[in-house]
Structure 1
Amino acid sequence: MKKILMAHNFHVLYIDKGKIIQRSIKDIHEIENIVCIEKKYTGINFITLGGREIVDSILGGLNRAVKSSVIQIISQSNGLKSVKIEKNYMRANQNVDIDFEAVDVQRWEQFLFLDINEFFDLKFVYSNKWVSISGKDTFNLDLSRSDISKINFGGIEFETEDFIKQIAGCSEKKFFIINEQWKIHKFFILKPVVVFVVFGDGSAYDQFKLSIESLNNPGNYDGNIIVVTNLEKEKIYKISPNNFKDKIKIVSMYAQDRLDFVGARLSIFTTDFLDSFQPIIYSDADVIFDKEVKDFLRIGAMADKCSAQVENFHLHKESEHVGGSLFQQDLYELENVYGFNGGILLVPNMVYHKDHLRACYLCLHNYVINYGRDSIPFYDQSVLNYVLYKMHDFSPSPVTEMTQVGGDEHQSIRAMYELDPRKPKGFVHFWNTANRVEEMSAYLEKIKC
């Protein structure tokens, strides 16, 4: 089995221009060039992760037709290992080279042997930010305060080998649980993405300009953005804040009718574009972000269910606005819950929720194939309510308490939701007005930092 060797400084062995060197975790761009050690029936050999055998000449010997050098792995008392070739030991020296000139074992001659999966889990932890209920700050792996025996994660010190064992599988699960003596910590990856759908360059385009502007100020967002659109990318970049332009990914999608326009947010969940992110926030174009999103992203990354704003004037079982027509055709056991508005949708991650979101898309697709493209009242919103409630994958929190309604078209709605720019909660959804652009613009001017 191949083992990746990690030196005292957390560098790994790497082939560069035909020479073995040390390479830091953050500077590994071609993983096939990582050098491993492999024990086989023919002996111990150096080999790259990509399968290239390291010949004697690279190890400082002659590239002979028949090898005569013997490679030994020697265990040290601290759990680390050394590599000996003939009379000398392999050394990770201060010049970030690898040589075979040491005659005894000190710090530079000792290495941590890692399984390939262990290494990539460690690299995953190092390459990302993490959050926890243990504190409101983000956590990271601080290699500057770590060594091959002790590792510093978020200011907490762990035995390196114990830490590596406890993070096993985190690159797939998007979380890990770890012990600090008797204390238990659960850390969740924080790699957010905000998804917008923008079709055409009319009113929705103008709303999107204001929405993404508010995501920058006062939202102070610094993560990834995906825009699903039928517009050229230049039109999206033109109205986006400058510091967002290298964060935006354009997903081109064709739309012809109302079902296409609103159903696109379900289509994006059937792709792999969102698979690496946690949390995922879908936002309609008529939403203003009225405070920093930092706390919401942290809470969203740790959520266990999808979330949206509950409308306490629409019962899910009865109102066609929120899936009542579908529930009536497929009755299932459920309390008299209120339905939710799909304009702001939190999806914690795709690892545990993709199957349900794909089911939403299939439900919509199969229904309209049978009954027509305008057969479902309120289209994807009805489907989201029906599927997520039935799959027990919906919670009003945290979106409901952080969302306000903008606009005065329906006074009964306005009376239910106080809207005060001096008391921002997170989101304002301007669905309660025909003058969305004007009202969004006026509100944004009041809340900008």
Structure 2
Amino acid sequence: MENINPIPYFTLLDYHQETLYYDITNETIARSSGLFPSENILPIYYDRKCLFIIKNENYFPLTQFKVIPIDSHKVVLHHNGYFGAAEPHTWELIFNRSEIAGWEIFECVEYTKNKFSASLLEHAWLSKFNWQLHSSDKIHKTPNGFYISDKYYDFIENQHNLKKLYTDTTNLTLSRGLMVDSYIKYNPLIYFVVFGDEEQKELARESIRSLINIGNYTGDICIITDRRDMHSIIPDTFPGQLHIIHDHASTRIEMWRARYHITKFPLFEQYQPILYLDTDIVCNDTIFPVLEGILTSSKVCAGTENHPGVIIIPSRYTEAESVGRSFFAQEGQYPNIEYGFNSGIIGIPNLAVARTAFEMVVRIITRMIVTGQTDGWVDQAVLNYVTYKLDCIDEAFLSPHVAVGTGDNVYPYVTASKRPTLIHFWSTHKHERLPRIQSYITSTIQERAEQ
């Protein structure tokens, strides 16, 4: 055992470009990392003098194997009087050759130590196979590879895949011997837009209280606001980070427009999924399934307004201006579903998915402000129109997760079969809204504590 040799060294490839490894258990040379890679099957290196492996940051020469150079980039291996051959249909090198032909020659490729991407260690990753979430504390490095929970991945085998993390930090495909795994980064952000009076601040505080105490949310939060007193809105014990973005809005429509202006803030590019919530939203159950569903959707997610018993004027595309009736009438064609969606809850897999739609929404709303077309729920109408025209809206996933709250009841979605995750108290009278939400959250927290 010695310290790792500091001079340049090489890996060895067979004629199929498979890297040679040393199987510590069987004391043999293997072609590739095996059916299931492990820390006992290590890549072989060559320093122009001998073969060696690196284990626990130490250098172990493999002196039982003699290296004979053919030229500056090719070698043959000799052991017990015979040359080693990478014969087809066998995993191990076979030392039974007296002459050198094609299978006995190995290519030397200079090894560049892997610069392990911090993106892999800093975030949680969601398996695309079984949707299991692997938190960052379940991911750790070893000298020759890394673990994601109980699965071991070899550095050399995945060097090309890991390099992609420097340009695409959202998805990761990894090799594991004959197996393959695919992950998507889980780094959620929930954001609010809070302008104006004290009640909006207190509503945001209550919504965040429900996310933390009922929804078990531990990710980051962002508040877009014109207020200077928002830093105290979350408890000191909250593990996530609070981002405050200061913006200006002097009218109700400008406040609505601000929720789509996130494309101008670089902060949002690092997160996925992203969830926008109105301040009168209560989290009523664990939030992770909703965030997971948004992350794995390929479109912007929103919930349609089909809540029997509470909607007095149905939000049908052919009837309601609040979901873009005039826009679709101008087109002479309506969406192929009956009900429009509410813009108080918007799920975004990542900013790239929503960027074009949000920029178009901002442009249209700005033009409507300039031309004085400011009656009604302008942003919701525009968002319904734009996302359907661009074919980037998923109204199926989020709808059954959302209920509507009134002063004395909660109305689930028409096809909901489970407890609603989010309750939107838009149907509560303004003067009742804050005390109603405070009371509902407090009683729900108490009920959960007693279970």
**Correspondence 1:268-347 to 2 at 5 A:** 268-312=262-306, 313-331=314-332, 334-347=335-348
Q: SS of the residue aligned with 2:185? A: strand
1:326 counterpart letter in structure 2: F
Picking from 244, 247, 255, the partner of 1:250 is 244
The yes-or-no answer on 1:397 pairing with 2:396 is: yes
Change (3 A) 1:114 1:282: farther
**Structure-1 residue corresponding to 2:208:** 212
Q: Does 1:197 align with 2:193?
A: yes
CA spacing shift, 1:301–1:91, aligned 2, 3 Å: same
Letter of the 1:359 partner, please give it: M
How far did residue 137 of structure 1 move? 3.2
CA contact (8 A) 2:45 2:51 kept: no
- Residue 271 of structure 1: how far off its partner (Å): 2.5
Once the two structures are TM-superposed, the CA of residue 447 in structure 1 deviates from its matched residue by 1.0
- Provide the rounded CA distance (Å) in 2 between the counterparts of 1:372 and 1:273: 32
State the partner residue of 2:218.
222
Greater Cα offset, 135-144 or 314-323: 135-144
C-alpha contact (below 8 Å) 2:10/2:110 kept by paired residues: no
The aligned residue for residue 374 of structure 2 is: 374
1:359-395 deviation per Cα after TM superposition (whole angstroms, max 9, x unaligned) = 22122223333x22615x3121111111111111111
Task: Supply the AA of the counterpart residue of 2:127.
Answer: S
- In the alignment, the residues of structure 1 paired with residue 139 and residue 194 of structure 2 have an alpha-carbon distance, to the nearest angstrom, of 42
Distance 2:328 2:340 in 1: 11
1:130 maps to 2:131: no
Q: Secondary structure at the match of 1:273?
A: helix
Corresponding residue for 1:440? 437
- Residues 18-59 of structure 1: CA deviation (Å, up to 9, x unaligned): xxxxxxxxxxxxxxxxxxxxxxxxxxxxxxxxxxxxxxxxx9
2:278 partner amino acid: D
CA distance, structure 2, for counterparts of residue 162 and residue 88 of structure 1? 22
- Say if 1:82 and 1:105, in contact at 8 Å, map to a contact too: no
Q: Runs of 5+ in structure 1 lacking a partner? A: 1-6, 14-58, 60-70
Give 1:237 deviation, angstroms: 2.7
What pairs up with 1:81-96 in 2 under 5 angstroms? Answer: 81=45
Q: Quickly say closer, same or farther: Cα 1:83–1:351, change in 2 above 3 A.
A: farther
Single out whichever of 158-167 and 187-196 deviates more from structure 2.
158-167
Which segments of 5 or more consecutive residues in structure 2 lack a partner in the other structure? 13-19, 22-42, 64-108, 307-313
**Residue 235 (structure 2) pairs with residue 241 (structure 1):** yes
Is the CA contact 1:151–1:163 (under 8 Å) kept in the aligned structure 2? no
Q: What letter matches 2:248 in structure 1?
A: Y
CA drift at 1:323: 1.4
Counterpart Cα distance in 1 of 2:55 and 2:164 = 32
316-325 vs 168-177, which deviates more?
Answer: 168-177
User: Which has the larger displacement, 328-337 or 316-325?
Assistant: 328-337
Secondary structure in 2 aligned to 1:242? coil
Match of 2:365 in 1: 364
Match for residue 259 of structure 1?
253
Shift of 1:351: 2.7
The answer to whether the 8 Å contact 1:278/1:349 transfers is: yes
Q: Which residues of 2 match residues 85-164 of structure 1 at below 5 A?
A: 113-114=111-112, 119=115, 122-139=117-134, 146-148=142-144, 150-164=145-159
Query: 2:347 is paired with a residue of what secondary structure?
Result: strand
Q: Which moved more, 1:152-161 or 1:246-255?
A: 152-161
CA–CA distance in structure 2, aligned partners of residues 151 and 286 of structure 1: 43
Rg larger for: 2
Q: Distance in 2 between matches of 1:156 and 1:224?
A: 28
- Give % identity: 22
- Conservation of the 8 A alpha-carbon contact between 1:177 and 1:186: yes
8 A contact 1:132–1:186 mirrored in 2? yes
Whether the 8 Å CA contact 2:55–2:143 is kept in 1: the answer is no
Using the alignment, how far apart are the partners of 1:144 and 1:202 within structure 2?
A: 45
CA gap of 1:114–1:329, structure 2 versus 1, over 3 A, is farther
8 A contact 2:124–2:185 mirrored in 1 = yes
Specify the SS of the correspondent of 1:177. strand
SS in 1 for 2:261: helix
**Structure 1 residues 342 and 114 mapped into 2: Cα distance closer, same or farther (>3 Å)?**
farther
Alpha-carbon contact 1:309-1:403 (below 8 Å) kept = yes
Aligned residue identity for 1:186: S
Structure 1 partner of 2:75: none
Counterpart of 1:372, as a letter, is: G
> Could you say which residue in structure 1 is the equivalent of 2:90?
none
3-state SS, counterpart of residue 275 of structure 1: helix
Check conservation: 2:328, 2:385, Cα contact below 8 A.
Answer: yes
- SS of the counterpart of 1:374? coil
Q: Deviations over 1:281-336 (max 9, x none)?
A: 00000001111212222222212111111013322344211112222233457424
Counterparts of 1:128 and 1:389 in 2: how far apart (Å)?
A: 33
TM-score by length of structure 1 reads 0.69
Q: Is the CA contact 1:73–1:82 (under 8 Å) kept in the aligned structure 2?
A: yes
Q: Is the 8 A contact 1:408 1:433 kept in 2?
A: yes
Structure 1 distance, partners of 2:344, 2:257, is: 12
C-alpha displacement of 1:176: 2.6
State whether residues 261 and 358 of structure 2, in contact with CA within 8 Å, keep that contact through their aligned partners in structure 1: no
Q: 1:172 to 1:166 in 2, by over 3 A?
A: closer
> Post-superposition shift, 1:105?
7.3
The answer as to whether partners of 1:263 and 1:379 remain within 8 angstroms in 2 is no
Tell me the matched-pair count.
Answer: 359
